[in-house]
Chain A
């Protein structure tokens, strides 16, 4: 008769539901053929088609793997989405990792060491992998992710738009030995004036993704932080010079579209864009006339910047072994050559204009040699640091006052260092 008894019944029912919901989050060791899932940033049809072809081929000879699914996550929030999936107990088996979160992922212990699997794989030729490309993905002598794409930044050029504005094309400037940032920005500003379209777009920067600006300031010899990652580089004289030039290009000569203005090069809205060659797949046949050239020289001379992405296997995956085995297949010499059309491989034997040209119908051997091969050999990797997300947020907030016409460049950059130095020193 006591209401307490009824409550006890309800409480017991609740406890049952809670127990059930708790069980749902657990990872059960599955029997039978495995289903693998790999998160990727690209939703590009051509990329996914190639991935799926390689996966289908793998499944033919590996009956223990029933399905391999490539799960594209939006580029802008890629790492956040991935870590949210991991936190929610829904981690993928394989994950694409960007260079800016490489230190965090590699040091965390979340990824499975790959050396043994890769070295043992049939015909893998592990020694062919360029040591320079492996550096970012190693910790304590172990490799935690395969440097799947080492993609140099280049300048895609809309030659139609430049010609319409009566400007020299970068190819002409290069042969005259005048391909410098000064000339590139002048041409961009003039094209903007003449056509009303954007001049030069540093892709994915959009006044937030500041690490893409390293494609610019490296020409001045500037860097976000020192090699050891402990000292802020934003207040250096080189950085102040670089950013002063950039500020002038945005607000005075209008060579770059201002904050809050979007212009997509691949839709024909801009004369030039700085981006990685993996974006060549966005070029449409029968669109505008285009070219791909190396980054212009800065005051310190010619230079190159590369972005890197690795593929790692999540250690906690119930199918980590199969996942690592598939990764070895995905990146073996044969498949690496196929993937090279979008994602420049770390294999030295394949980094020749000839090999790359076979799978890169859109790019000429000369472009491949100048932008891709020279870029990978000499390139500086985009900034990366442990705890990059927090650092990145502080730098973004610190740089915001710079994106106004009357900004005091030196003061803003000093402010950035004041914000991030305590984080770097940690």
Chain B
């Protein structure tokens, strides 16, 4: 490709005198080709990621009233307002609770399922498909169905009733609402982490277990001393994905609880949606999204830094 190009270029006409070198050298052509190849991706992220990010920072410095069509620069007023927001404490608490609950339950269950499915037992393929299928289901459809199941007279309580248990009104109790939202989300996505763990487990060399067995190590000891260290890169990956995802939860809250009862399930993304799109405080909503960005960034950096302490191959 490059050879043909140089021949038809002006350079092919013979050595040019002095410093007047042709513009389209083969190296420049290669560079152009490279840039053209990455251009679609670069343009996409510029338009849909970087530009909105810059705009959000810009909006956060303004008081933007959509109805009146006013857009006034207010400097850092919106950031100062964070300190006076009576709801923000409860919102951050709810966000933290959701994230911790989701990460612990999701990773714990995913690892447990992966270990079980990694055994050579009959029916593992069926179960693997079963647990993975919610991942490909539409999130909103999944959540709406769960909304019906979790109603006071819904499927879950109907089931509990046949067992003689009087189930709570899941989505209306302060504690049970948060628990319900977490569990609905865990079941939705546990399959993805499970498959990642399963792949990692199958990558652990069998001879290590054989050697450990010869040395008389128990199954438990094998798990903690061989399995966990060897799949730790996957644990890091899944925990980063899950933490970041948990902080961005929105649809489940919007469909199931609308942030209630009280403000018990008003997580940060839902709260910034309320501020911007329902209360028309777009500037303050943008400020809240900067807060969210800072939290996600800080947690990701922290996890990345901490990896040296516990991730195999990284120390």
Tell me whether A83 and B66 are in contact (CB under 8 A). Answer: yes
Docked-complex contact B172 and A259, CB < 8 angstroms:
yes
Does any Cβ of A come within 8 Å of B309's Cβ?
no
> Does B278 contact A80, Cβ atoms closer than 8 Å?
yes
Closest B residue to A3 by beta carbon equals B31
| Residue with the highest number of chain B CB atoms closer than 10 Å, among A6, A18, A260 | A260
- Write out the residue numbers on chain B whose beta carbons fall within 8 Å of the beta carbon of A316: 69
- Kindly specify which of A187-195, A238-246, A385-393 makes contact with the partner chain: A385-393
- CB pair A403–B172 under 8 Å, yes or no, is yes
Q: Which residues on the B side are within 8 Å of A109 (C-beta)? A: 67-69
Residues of A within 8 Å of B31, CB to CB, are: 3, 6
Does chain A have a CB within 8 A of B253? no
The smallest beta-carbon distance between A97 and chain B, in angstroms, is 10
B150 contact set on A, CB distance < 8 A = 260
A387 to chain B, nearest CB (A): 7
Query: Which single member of B35, B47, B68, B258 contacts A21 (CB below 8 Å)?
Result: B47
Please give, as numbers and ranges, the residues of chain A lying within 8 Å of B279 by CB-CB distance. Answer: 387, 389-390, 393
Q: Which stretch (B74-82, B104-112, B259-267) binds chain A? A: B259-267
**Interface stretch of the complex, out of B38-46, B119-127, B194-202, B291-299:** B38-46
Asked whether, in the complex, the Cβ of A1 is within 8 Å of the Cβ of B27, the reply is yes
Taking CB as reference atom, which chain A residue is nearest B260?
A400
Among the listed B39, B151, B173, which residue makes an inter-chain contact with A262, where contact means beta carbons less than 8 Å apart? B151
Q: Are A260 and B169 in contact (CB under 8 A)?
A: yes
B65 at the interface (CB under 8 A from A): yes
Q: Which chain B residues numbered 46 to 100 have a C-beta less than 8 Å away from chain A?
A: 46-47, 51, 65-69
Whether B66 and A87, one on each chain, are in contact in the complex, defined by CB atoms closer than 8 angstroms, is yes
Q: Looking at the assembled complex, report how far the CB atom of B287 sits from the nearest CB atom of chain A, in whole angstroms.
A: 16
Q: Confirm or deny: A14 has a beta carbon within 8 angstroms of a beta carbon on chain B.
A: yes
Residues of A within 8 A of B304 (CB): none
The complex places the Cα of A207 from the Cα of B257 at a distance, in Å, of 11
Q: Is the CB of A1 within 8 A of B172?
A: no
Q: Is the CB of A261 within 8 A of B153?
A: yes
CB closest chain-B residue, reference A111: B67
Interface residues of B in 270-293 (CB under 8 A from A): 274, 277-280, 282
Q: Which of B146-170 contact A (CB under 8 A)?
A: 150-154, 169-170
Q: How far is the CA of A13 from the CA of B65 in the complex (A)?
A: 33
- Given known contacts A17-B46, A104-B67, A401-B262, A10 and B39 CB-to-CB distance under 8 angstroms: yes
A21 to B258, CA, bound (A): 33
Query: Quick one: which of B67, B151, B258, B263 contacts A208, CB cutoff 8 A?
Result: B258
| A258 contacts the other chain (CB 8 A) | yes
**Within the assembled complex, what's the spacing in Å between the Cα atoms of A288 and B148?**
26
Q: Is A108 an interface residue (CB 8 A)?
A: yes
Tell me, yes or no, whether B313 is within 8 Å of chain A by CB.
Answer: no
B42:A10 contact, CB within 8 angstroms:
yes
- A400 near B261: Cβ-Cβ < 8 Å: yes
Name A79's closest neighbour in chain B (CB-CB). Answer: B278
User: At the interface, yes or no: B32 with Cβ under 8 Å from chain A?
Assistant: yes
- Is there contact, CB below 8 Å, between B35 and A260? no
Complex alpha-carbon distance, A14 and B42, angstroms:
9
CB distance from A24 to the nearest CB of B (A): 11
CB distance from B273 to the nearest CB of A (A): 9
Given contacts A87-B66, A110-B67, contact A13 B43 (CB under 8 A): yes
Inter-subunit contact A110/B274 (CB<8 Å): no
C-alpha spacing A18/B171, complex, angstroms? 44
Does A86 belong to the interface (CB within 8 Å)?
yes
Question: Is the C-beta of A343 less than 8 angstroms from some C-beta in chain B?
Answer: no
State the CA gap A175–B69 with chains docked (Å): 54
CB A204 to nearest CB in B, in angstroms, measures 14
A83-B67, A108-B67, A110-B68 given; name 8 further pairs at CB < 8 Å: A9-B32, A9-B35, A83-B66, A260-B169, A389-B279, A393-B279, A397-B261, A404-B172
12 chain-A/chain-B pairs, Cβ below 8 angstroms: A1-B25, A6-B32, A17-B43, A21-B51, A110-B68, A259-B172, A260-B151, A260-B154, A260-B171, A387-B279, A390-B279, A400-B172
Interface residue ranges, A against B (CB under 8 Å): 1, 3, 6, 9-10, 13-14, 17-18, 21, 80, 83-84, 86-87, 104-105, 108-110, 207-208, 258-262, 316, 387, 389-390, 393, 396-398, 400-401, 403-404
